[in-house]
C-alpha cells in the first residue's frame, strides 16, 4: 500500500467471516514493519511519531468513528478582501472558522485535504469573487512526519479551546441543576428551560466534532461531560414528574437532543 516515497495508502480487507477491516499503511517503505491498533484511548500522533522511523500498518477498529487524515496533503488557502466594506472579511473569517480551518497568518488558512473541504473552498472563493475579493488554494504536503505532527497539534489546539469553553458551559449547567434541586424548584418551566439548554449543548458539541479532524483526549472528555449533563437532567426530570404525580418517563422520552454524534438540523449555540 505504500511506495518508495513513503506516501500512505489505505485499503479494506474482507475477513473470512464476512466482516471488513480497514487498514492504513504509512511511513518508510524499507523500515521495520510495526502493527498499530488504533482506537479509543490512543492518538493519531502515535501513528505519525512511529511512522517517522518505521513502516507502520494501522488498523481502524470497528467501534472507532473518527476519520483519519493521513499525510496525504492539506489545502493552503490564500484570501484577499477589500478594506471596505468589512462584511466580506467577516464572512470569510466566519466561514473558515466554522469549517475548522487554522489561520497560519494574515490571509493564509489551512484545512486537511478532503473532497468536502475542497468544495467548500471553491464555493467560498466564488462568493468572494462576486464581492470584489480574490483568492486561491493549493495542495500542500508536509515534508516530514514531524511537520505533519506539528500541524495536527495546531488543529487540535484550536479545537481544545472550543472544548474548554464547552466544558465550562457544562459545569454551569450542572451547577444550575444543583441550585434548583437545593431550593426544590421542581417546576415545568425550569424543566423546559433545562431541556433547551441541554439541546444547545448537544448541538454545540456536534458542531465542534464536525470540525475536529484529529480528535484527542479533549473530545472524549467533552462527550463524558455531556453524558453527565444528560444524567443529571434525567434525575431532575424524574423528580419533577414525581412531584406532579406522573409516571417517570424513559430517558429517550424525557431528554431532548440525543447523542452529540447524531445528525440533526443546525441551530444557534450559546
For residues 121 and 37, state if they share a domain: no
Q: pTM here?
A: 0.69
All three cell numbers of 158 = 484550536
Q: What is the pLDDT of residues 162-212, one digit of tens each?
A: 999 999 999 999 999 999 999 999 999 999 999 999 999 999 999 999 999
- Residue 151 in domain: no
User: What's the rounded Cα separation, in Å, for the pair 256 and 119?
Assistant: 33
Range of the domain at 112: 74-140
- Residue 65 in domain: no
Which residues face 74 on adjacent strands?
A: 112, 140
Q: What number of CA atoms fall less than 13 Å from residue 145's CA on the CB side?
A: 20
All three cell numbers of 38 = 488504533
For residues 185 and 233, state if they share a domain: yes
For residues 84 and 37, state if they share a domain: no
Q: What is the pLDDT of residues 52-92, one digit of tens each?
A: 566 666 665 443 434 444 446 899 999 999 999 999 999 99
Integer-rounded Cα radius of gyration of the chain: 23
- Residue 37 in domain: yes
- Residue 269 in domain: no
For residues 49 and 79, state if they share a domain: no
For residues 250 and 160, state if they share a domain: yes
Q: Give me the number of domains the chain comprises.
A: 3
- Residue 131 in domain: yes
- Per the CB < 8 A criterion, the answer to whether 79 and 135 are in contact is yes
Residue 18 to residues 21, 24, 36, 65, 67, Cα–Cα distance (Å): 10, 20, 22, 20, 23
List, in sequence order, the alpha helices (H) in 100-216: 115-130, 145-182, 188-210
Q: Which has more confidence, 253 or 237? A: 237
Which residue, of 97, 112, 140, is where some domain finishes?
Answer: 140
- Residue 101 in domain: yes
Amino acid at each position: 500500500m505504500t511506495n518508495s516515497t513513503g506516501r500512505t495508502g489505505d485499503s479494506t480487507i474482507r475477513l473470512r467471516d464476512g466482516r471488513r477491516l480497514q487498514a492504513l499503511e504509512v511511513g518508510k517503505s524499507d523500515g521495520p514493519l510495526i502493527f498499530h491498533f488504533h482506537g479509543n484511548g490512543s492518538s493519531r500522533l502515535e501513528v505519525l511519531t512511529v511512522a517517522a522511523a518505521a513502516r507502520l500498518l494501522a488498523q481502524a477498529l470497528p467501534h472507532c468513528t473518527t476519520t483519519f487524515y493521513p499525510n496525504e496533503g492539506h489545502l493552503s488557502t490564500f484570501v484577499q478582501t477589500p478594506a471596505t466594506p468589512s462584511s466580506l472579511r467577516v464572512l470569510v473569517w466566519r466561514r473558515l472558522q466554522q469549517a475548522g480551518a487554522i489561520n497560519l497568518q494574515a490571509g493564509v488558512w489551512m484545512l486537511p485535504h478532503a473532497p468536502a473541504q475542497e468544495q467548500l473552498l471553491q464555493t467560498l472563493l466564488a462568493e468572494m469573487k462576486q464581492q470584489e475579493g480574490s483568492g486561491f488554494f493549493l495542495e500542500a504536503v508536509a515534508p516530514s512526519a514531524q511537520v505533519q505532527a506539528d500541524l495536527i497539534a495546531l488543529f487540535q489546539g484550536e479545537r481544545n479551546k472550543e472544548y474548554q469553553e464547552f466544558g465550562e458551559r457544562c459545569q454551569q449547567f450542572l451547577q444550575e441543576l444543583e441550585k434548583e434541586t437545593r431550593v426544590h424548584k421542581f417546576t415545568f418551566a425550569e424543566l423546559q428551560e433545562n431541556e433547551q439548554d441541554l439541546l444547545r449543548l448537544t448541538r454545540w458539541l456536534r458542531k465542534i466534532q464536525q470540525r475536529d479532524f484529529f480528535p484527542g483526549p479533549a473530545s472524549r472528555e467533552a462527550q463524558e461531560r455531556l453524558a453527565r449533563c444528560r444524567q443529571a437532567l434525567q434525575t431532575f426530570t424524574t423528580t419533577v414528574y414525581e412531584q406532579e404525580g406522573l409516571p417517570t418517563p424513559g430517558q429517550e422520552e424525557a431528554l431532548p437532543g440525543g447523542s452529540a454524534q447524531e445528525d440533526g438540523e443546525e441551530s444557534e449555540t450559546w
